[in-house]
């Protein structure tokens, strides 16, 4: 149970406290939104703790006493650095609580609101470019983190919506299709009350890049646990504070996803990484759709902005496949799409030579490249060859790379070539400074 459920003695839409029961009944009649209920009750619990009174004690105060204690509380929030919007929203909910319990008309509490300018935003945000998001994904540090970054960007899902997905929602198409449909539906609120905003069902898609990352993450998860149950979250918690069985059925936390995005932005070399949040990737998704020339109504649908009752045709099988086809034309990484297969295969060969592969291994790589039409399929098999090479095979390359490495005090700077090599170093706390031409990267690391 949540802390506010215990504190306010809440069960579903009722409470043992008469004052709270009136409060809940109001929202039950108005919206019946689980997200609104959670927010309203959490704010009330925090206020009760500040006032050191139970809910039923609060409504027995005089108007002057109630006004004074509410004003003191919202002032304290502002002093602690809470945004003006948060302070005023808190005040609105508290006024509603007192009004529903007899504080209206001449008995209405008298509390001053804080001035909030139009288009106010306390926390600035930075919308990363497609190229920056690409670097974020490869700097994320794990298959899971990479998949989460790509899922947010290529589907436009909100933080809560992505965490509300179950494995069964994508499992079938994940095994058979390159572009996977992602459903958003009211039942997701059982995992997170904010998961389906406005109870509006819709769907989006995961791109080819994202599907590949999800398969990689799913494979690692199966190796760890043996299988993935349909009802498990698509992205489960990895917290070591709970048993594995509980961990598997617990979705990743909101703050954890936010931290993954910011950390990936920092490691990906984004100067304003502190201002990159999951919602910024949703805005980047909207830009990608608009840049691809999708019909405005299709854009609105994929963003979940279509009003209830106006999107019925989108669920027709023909329309689903038509929208999937149009989505497939969206180039989420346009700066990465200019290389033809010949150039990409040449880059792969250059990379394995730089990695110190033996001539026998290089010949095997050439055979693999000739074997597959899709370069990505070839790279999967080449990665296995890389694991078979062992550390000793990398020694010649290590010596060559050290010769090109300069040390600046306690900071080491080096240039590496190839995305596989890049990912390996990023996972070892190296930071990407700049990407050069021909798949070469400048990285730095601060040593103690």
Cα–Cα distance between 242 and 246 in angstroms, integer? 6
User: What's residue 400's pLDDT?
Assistant: 33
**In this predicted model, which residue has the larger pLDDT, 61 or 322?**
61
15 token code pair: 């409470």
Residue 120 lies in a domain: no
Residue 112 lies in a domain: no
- Cβ proximity of 287 and 127 under 8 Å: yes
Same domain membership, residue 390 and residue 354: yes
User: What's residue 362's pLDDT?
Assistant: 80
User: What's residue 200's pLDDT?
Assistant: 85
**In this predicted model, which residue has the larger pLDDT, 391 or 177?**
177
Overall average pLDDT of the 398-405 stretch: 36
User: In three state form, how does the secondary structure of the chain look?
Assistant: CCHHHHHCCEECCEECCHHHHHHHHHHHHHCCCHHHHHHHHHHHHHHHHHHCCCHHHHCCCCHHHHHHHHHHHHHHHHHCCCCHHHHHHHHHHHHHHHHHCCCCHHHCCCCCCCCCCCCCCCCCCCCCCHHHHHHHHHCCCCHHHHHHHHHHHHHCCCHHHHHHCEHHHCHHHHHHCCCEEEEECHHHHHCCCCCCHHHCCEEEEECHHHHHHHHHHHHHHHHHHCCCCCCCECCECCCCCCCHHHHHCCECCHHHHHHHHHHHHHHCCCCCHHHCCHHHHHHHHHHHHHHCCCCHHHHHHHCCCCCCCCCHHHHCHHHHHHHHHHHHCCCCCHHHCCCCHHHHHHHHHHHHHHCCCCHHHHHHHHHHHHHCCCHHHHHHHHHHHHHHHCHHHHHHHHHHHHHCCEEECCEEEEEEECHHHHHHHHCCCCEEEEECCCCEEEEEEECC
Q: Is the pLDDT of residue 427 over 60?
A: no
pLDDT tens, 113-136?
888 776 555 568 899 999 999 999
Overall average pLDDT of the 135-145 stretch: 88
Domain extent, residue 374, equals 341-396
pLDDT winner (highest mean) among 14-18, 375-379, 407-411, 424-428: 14-18
Same domain membership, residue 47 and residue 155: no
Q: Is the pLDDT of residue 153 over 60?
A: yes
- Cβ proximity of 383 and 355 under 8 Å: no
Same domain membership, residue 155 and residue 276: yes
300 token code pair: 């609105």
pLDDT tens, 84-102?
888 999 999 999 999 999 9
User: What's residue 347's pLDDT?
Assistant: 59
Same domain membership, residue 353 and residue 327: no
Cα–Cα distance between 247 and 360 in angstroms, integer? 44
Same domain membership, residue 318 and residue 249: yes
Ramachandran area for residue 436 (φ above 0: left; ψ -120 to 50: alpha; else beta): beta
Q: Is the pLDDT of residue 396 over 70?
A: no
Residue 125 lies in a domain: no
pLDDT tens, 265-295?
998 889 999 999 999 999 999 999 999 888 8
* Of 287, 307, 333, the domain-final residue: 333
Residue 123 lies in a domain: no
Same domain membership, residue 285 and residue 192: yes
Residue 434 lies in a domain: yes
Overall average pLDDT of the 17-30 stretch: 94
pTM above 0.75, yes or no: no
- Cβ proximity of 323 and 298 under 8 Å: yes
Overall average pLDDT of the 357-363 stretch: 78
Same domain membership, residue 154 and residue 178: yes
396 token code pair: 């010649």
Residue 365 lies in a domain: yes
- The total domain count for the chain is 4
Residue 118 lies in a domain: no
Same domain membership, residue 373 and residue 307: no
Q: Return mean pLDDT, the chain.
A: 82
Same domain membership, residue 62 and residue 85: yes
pLDDT tens, 181-240?
999 998 998 888 888 888 888 999 999 999 999 999 999 888 887 889 999 999 988 776
Same domain membership, residue 415 and residue 350: no
- Cβ proximity of 67 and 109 under 8 Å: yes
Q: Assign residue 166 the CATH number of its domain.
A: 1.10.443.10
User: What's residue 437's pLDDT?
Assistant: 59
* Of 281, 298, 333, the domain-final residue: 333
User: What's residue 405's pLDDT?
Assistant: 38
Residue 113 lies in a domain: no
Same domain membership, residue 100 and residue 171: no
pLDDT tens, 35-68?
889 999 999 999 999 999 999 999 999 999 999 9
Same domain membership, residue 317 and residue 351: no
Overall average pLDDT of the 175-184 stretch: 93
């Amino acid at each position: 149970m949540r802390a506010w459920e215990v504190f306010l003695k809440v069960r579903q839409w009722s409470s043992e406290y008469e004052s709270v029961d009136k409060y809940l009944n109001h929202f039950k009649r108005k919206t019946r939104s689980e997200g609104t209920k959670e927010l309203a009750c959490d704010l009330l619990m925090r206020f009760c703790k500040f006032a050191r009174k139970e809910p039923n004690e609060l409504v027995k105060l005089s108007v002057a006493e109630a006004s004074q204690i509410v004003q003191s509380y919202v002032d304290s929030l502002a002093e602690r650095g809470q945004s003006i919007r948060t302070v005023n929203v808190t005040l609105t909910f508290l006024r509603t609580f007192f009004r529903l319990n007899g504080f209206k008309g001449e008995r209405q509490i008298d509390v001053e609101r804080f001035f909030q300018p139009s288009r106010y935003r306390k926390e600035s945000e930075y919308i990363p470019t497609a190229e920056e998001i690409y670097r974020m994904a490869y700097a994320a540090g794990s298959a899971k983190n990479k998949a989460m970054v790509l899922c947010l960007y290529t589907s436009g899902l909100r933080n809560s919506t992505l965490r509300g997905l179950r494995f069964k929602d994508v499992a079938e198409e994940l095994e058979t299709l390159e572009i996977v449909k992602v459903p958003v539906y009211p039942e997701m609120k059982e995992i997170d009350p904010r998961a389906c905003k406005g109870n509006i069902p819709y769907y989006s898609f995961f791109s080819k890049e994202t599907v590949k990352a999800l398969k990689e993450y799913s494979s690692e998860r199966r190796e760890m646990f043996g299988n993935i149950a349909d009802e498990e979250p698509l992205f489960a918690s990895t917290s070591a504070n709970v048993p594995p069985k509980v961990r598997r059925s617990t979705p990743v936390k909101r703050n954890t996803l936010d931290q993954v995005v910011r950390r990936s932005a920092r490691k990906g070399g984004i100067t304003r990484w502190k201002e990159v949040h999951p919602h910024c990737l949703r805005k980047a998704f909207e830009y990608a759709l608009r840049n691809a020339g999708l019909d405005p109504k299709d854009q609105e649908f994929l963003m979940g902005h279509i009003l209830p009752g106006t999107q019925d045709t989108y669920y027709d099988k023909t329309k689903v496949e038509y929208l999937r086809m149009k989505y497939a034309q969206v180039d989420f990484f346009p700066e990465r799409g200019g290389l033809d297969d010949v150039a990409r295969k040449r880059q792969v060969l250059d990379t394995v030579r730089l990695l110190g592969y033996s001539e026998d291994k290089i010949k095997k790589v050439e055979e693999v490249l000739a074997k597959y039409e899709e370069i990505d399929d070839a790279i999967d098999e080449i990665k296995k060859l890389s694991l078979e090479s062992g550390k000793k095979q990398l020694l010649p390359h290590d010596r060559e790379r050290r010769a090109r490495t300069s040390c600046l005090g306690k900071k080491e700077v080096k240039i590496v070539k190839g995305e596989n090599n890049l990912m390996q170093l990023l996972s070892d706390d190296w930071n990407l400074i700049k990407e050069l031409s021909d798949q070469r990267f400048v990285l730095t690391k601060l040593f103690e």
